[in-house]
Structure 1
């Protein structure tokens, strides 16, 4: 067993809590879901949708060494505190203070997870790198990710998200990033903000918690760029790097090509052209990689080292990966971008689909949630990029998608469904050799289940079942 992530005494010192029923334990990890507990984990009993105290025994049965609780009337070794959320945040702060790691935080409306994962791969070529798992970017995910950072880490990469005003600044205050990245601003979570300008201001609050001498990385091509730059000045961030296609960017995208076999293009970096290749598909990846290049440059990695590492990058699950779907005669390709969606990311995905060398281009589109009063208009307006992409058929899923379905010409209307049940088998049966089918929608739309079921059918086809 290697060095412990935390000892009982270290956790007690960080939280001011009381050790009960054992004081000599140590942990190798931290979890908040008993279903994901591993051997020698610390189980944190948060009181969110359900009371975590009810699952302490389950976590211990799975191998957890101890629990962090506010109610001491639970089994096993435990650290008793007044409030487990506050205690988790205190452990996160202690993790930051004890480590010399360079900390990078990523926010924005699109591309956060892809940038975070790309940076983790790039930085891992230079030293031990810790990152947020999945999309752990909210009020419990950020402190959990930070608390999990080993003291030996050279880099820590954290994703920070929001669905309503006032959430980012305190989370950024925990991380205190040396490098802060803001990706594109888009019409996401409009229900909580009301306007894109308010979204931009919330994203810019990432800069409020930056460490002294920190570097802000901003999207030069974004309509909110001037506002973001203004906010950087307001928060006294003096080091600013930019990415995009605009002249004068720190990392300027000169060209970008994408296809089923990956993407490549030219970036202008420090006055020199740099060839970039990556096994990812989509025009939006140019900005993801350009933003990542900025962050790695800010950490003083060499451009050629960064470019080489980019050849190892793969899209996160549900974010544009390609899967072959075998058919009786030939095969089709699934473009699984089903993790989440907003109007900007949906349009980008349709643009990527339009560039695919397919006999037919198909799409399964789930409703986009949390868009506020303009939700039906924003769904209906997807008809234009669909027309531009010349899609053969579109399956619309969820009540809000009815606005799009009704606007599509009859020949493009595959089906309109309020739920996902049974759709995967029907869609698979419609596929023909050479088809490319995009699956995309908000996580709450459930279309990720369709993507999963299509892959399950494909696996059964390959095994001959």
Structure 2
């Protein structure tokens, strides 16, 4: 069997039978500067007692409104190997002075024993998708020895938790880092200590807290502060903040690799054409070679994201062929581009699930992709974009332009912030480019579900559902994903 065949035929699960213990009691206790009540083996790490699996180590963390010590008995009943606590309890445990500090110490120990390169990913848009694509590529290359932060575990709790879960056998680690305020990524990147740091893009997400896109760029660029010696910074060449990001990376001693459509990009998009069954066939110039591959997820923004993936894979000496296969196989993630066939009047329709997150840049990108999606009618259910502060009304109203350009037939706006867009759509402007869309404003998701049902979805409709996670549009996706017409 040749190398290409081995890449393509590699199964989803590793088959070498190596299921070694994640931590033993003595090693974990020593790392956390705690005292173990006995000898036990740990196969996982968890902070939510409801998610505990047999063999897990449960951390009883203290929050502003909840103390995890209340759920110690529940965690043990679910099969936890032990619990990490700051007071003596019945059952196997590790006693520490502070459970949050203990989690950070265990994460630091996992990072210290890592035997392969670590990649950190941040950005205003696309960081979770890029993290998942890099993981898929390197997991295929390493035949199951890649590790990444799951879901969006990218904050002060999620990052050390994800590190603590990293097996000693890991050959590649990929960690997402997010923030709401300046200084947060600086703390996270010093825990992750990446060999490669990726910034996907800069957009006005969290502008309410930071005040300007320049400040957002500076906050994202904090990821370079944790880079290991001879680290590589991967940054978007097409961003207006490229010079700012590059300067920040160089100031931290990083080697800079840029990606995008710009002529100066180190990983440069040469061509993209529609692929059979959706997605894009992509040709990329990587300096010393050209690479062709397919990106299954539709949209130009996904193609640009794939350039960052290829840059990261090459930076850690991964297999570009394996990366191409992984990108060709990856569909959209739930809440982040998943394309769901739903049963409607007369047949089926396409529901595009972008319900997890929204900001002005991602809204424009997904609306443009909706406009390129074959459909009898194009429908957009758009929830409020959060954390835009005083800029919010203008950003929401400005969505009228990409809606018209995409040829959207019907818009449902959801949430108080979306009133600005509804007002803009209600204006009569014969000079505006594109056709005007019919619209209806809904105060909440429940109203939106009722309004869409009353509107009546039909065969060959394409429905985009997008908004900030707190709006709750995942409930609408679930409601129509289960309907039977």
- 2:351 match: 334
1:268 pairs with 2:285: yes
**Equivalent pairs, count:** 455
Deviation by residue 1:155-206 (Cα, 9 ceiling, x = unmatched)? 0110000011110011111110011101100000112111111111010010
Larger displacement relative to structure 2 (272-281 or 97-106): 272-281
1:294 pairs with 2:319: no
Q: Residue 414 of structure 2 contacts residue 448 of structure 2 at CA under 8 Å; is this kept in 1? A: no
Matches of 1:77 and 1:192 in 2, distance apart?
43
- 1:427 match: 452
1:103 pairs with 2:118: yes
User: TM (normalized to structure 1)?
Assistant: 0.95
- 2:256 match: 240
Q: Residue 440 of structure 1 contacts residue 448 of structure 1 at CA under 8 Å; is this kept in 2? A: no
Larger displacement relative to structure 2 (347-356 or 259-268): 259-268
Q: Residue 230 of structure 2 contacts residue 253 of structure 2 at CA under 8 Å; is this kept in 1? A: no
Gapped regions of structure 1 (runs ≥ 5): none
**Offset, 1:271:** 4.2
Q: Residue 29 of structure 1 contacts residue 148 of structure 1 at CA under 8 Å; is this kept in 2? A: yes
Deviation by residue 1:340-379 (Cα, 9 ceiling, x = unmatched)? 0111111111011011111111100000111111111111
Matches of 1:201 and 1:328 in 2, distance apart?
50
Q: Residue 467 of structure 2 contacts residue 473 of structure 2 at CA under 8 Å; is this kept in 1? A: yes
Deviation by residue 1:38-84 (Cα, 9 ceiling, x = unmatched)? 00100111112421111111111111111111232x33211111111
Match of 2:210 among 164, 170, 193: 193
Match of 2:466 among 440, 444, 455: 440
- 1:12 match: 29
Residue 293 of structure 2 aligns to a residue whose secondary structure is strand
Matched ranges for 1:183-222 at <5 A: 183-222=200-239
Matches of 2:356 and 2:449 in 1, distance apart?
16
- 2:160 match: 143
Matched ranges for 1:45-444 at <5 A: 45-48=60-63, 49-72=65-88, 74-127=89-142, 128-237=145-254, 239-258=255-274, 261-409=278-426, 412-428=437-453, 430-444=456-470
**Offset, 1:15:** 1.1
Q: Residue 56 of structure 1 contacts residue 75 of structure 1 at CA under 8 Å; is this kept in 2? A: no
- 2:481 match: 455
Q: Residue 141 of structure 2 contacts residue 322 of structure 2 at CA under 8 Å; is this kept in 1? A: no
Deviation by residue 1:388-433 (Cα, 9 ceiling, x = unmatched)? 1111110011000011011114863432111111533542452122
Matches of 1:302 and 1:87 in 2, distance apart?
36
**Offset, 1:85:** 1.1
Matches of 1:213 and 1:30 in 2, distance apart?
31
Residue 13 of structure 1 aligns to a residue whose secondary structure is helix
Matches of 2:351 and 2:25 in 1, distance apart?
48
Matches of 1:302 and 1:6 in 2, distance apart?
30
Matches of 2:451 and 2:424 in 1, distance apart?
23
**Offset, 1:257:** 3.6
**Offset, 1:240:** 1.2
Matches of 1:357 and 1:342 in 2, distance apart?
25
Q: Residue 36 of structure 2 contacts residue 94 of structure 2 at CA under 8 Å; is this kept in 1? A: yes
1:41 pairs with 2:56: yes
Gapped regions of structure 2 (runs ≥ 5): 1-17, 428-435
Structure 1: 4+ residue segments shifted above 6 A: none
